[in-house]
Amino acid sequence: MGVLEDKARARTFYKYLSQVYDRINPFIWNEEMRDEAISWLDIGPEDRVLDIGCGTGFATEGLLQHTERIYGLDQSPHQLSKAYQKFGKRGPVRFHKGDAERLPFADDTFDIVWSSGSIEYWPNPVTALRECRRVGKPGSTVLIVGPDYPNNTVFQKMADAIMLFYDEEEADRMFTEAGFEEFEHRIQQASANSPRAITTIATVPDR
Ligand SMILES: C[S@@+](CC[C@H](N)C(=O)[O-])C[C@H]1O[C@@H](n2cnc3c(N)ncnc32)[C@H](O)[C@@H]1O
């Protein structure tokens, strides 16, 4: 397990990173990639969407262009305070401070469950993916953007020491164990030298 796959450590890390997050983020995960991933979903104006690990609200902002029924959840008060500066604490987005592994929502609540760049910090990703399945309505979509496992052995060692990186095979295992039956993976990359993002689009099965 990587050093940042520890909830308290990840919170401390984001206490500092939140100050510069929006300036650094575009080198790895930019608006074009975000909007492309959003275009893979069919979000209607009445759809209720959950953004897990919403952070400073970068993806939330893109999702808001499609529906105003957005819920943002993050475990970092510092990241959330940056999001409040953008949208207001009680504005169009319903914010929750909480844990991806214990979502404070009833079963079958959301039409779309989205999470970008957060799964790599979850100590128990399968538990959190089960939560995504639980709060998603049957037939709804769960979209998870994560970091693709590097193919160079030096980078693999570094990646493993920091946080969760996974390839398609590992994603297959996690999503299957979490109870998903239908899913596919897509790869995105900001530039040829930047890290690749692995996005899984899964359908919530019938109960
Ligand atoms: C790289 S940022 C991604 C922010 C945003 N989703 C985006 O697309 O830019 C990762 C976020 O996941 C949050 N996070 C990490 N572990 C979490 C957990 N167990 N539950 C909820 N949020 C978590 C962090 O606090 C951080 O704000």
Q: Which of 4, 16, 93, 118 to mutate to test the pocket of ligand 1 (most atoms within 8 A of CB)?
A: 118
Amino acid 1: pLDDT: 80
CA–CA dist 72, 60 (Å, integer): 7
Closest approach atom of ligand 1 to CA 54: 6
Identify which of 79, 82, 76, 44 has the alpha carbon closest to the alpha carbon of residue 63.
Answer: 44
Identify which of 127, 122, 103 has the alpha carbon closest to the alpha carbon of residue 113.
Answer: 103
pLDDT of 151 strictly over 90: no
Amino acid 179: pLDDT: 98
Closest approach atom of ligand 1 to CA 55: 27
What would the two tokens of residue 18 be?
């939140």
Q: What would the DSSP string read from start to end of 46-103?
A: T--EEEET-TTTHHHHHHTTT-S-EEEEES-HHHHHHHHHHH-TTSSEEEEE-BTTB-
Supply the mean pLDDT for the chain.
95
CA–CA dist 167, 104 (Å, integer): 29
> What single DSSP character describes residue 164?
-
pLDDT of 103 strictly over 90: yes
Confidence of residue 120 (pLDDT cuts 50, 70, 90): very high
Give residue limits of the domains in the chain.
Answer: 7-203
Pocket of ligand 1, beta carbon within 6 A: 7, 10, 14, 25, 29, 53-55, 58-59, 74-76, 79, 99-101, 116-118, 121-122
pLDDT of 113 strictly over 90: yes
Amino acid 21: pLDDT: 86
Amino acid 91: pLDDT: 87
CATH class for the domain made up of 7-203 = alpha beta
Amino acid 25: pLDDT: 85
pLDDT of 132 strictly over 90: yes
- Total-model pTM: 0.96
pLDDT of 150 strictly over 90: no
CA 55 – ligand 1 centroid, Å: 5
Mean pLDDT, residues 71-76 taken together = 98
Closest approach atom of ligand 1 to CA 14: 25
Confidence of residue 155 (pLDDT cuts 50, 70, 90): confident
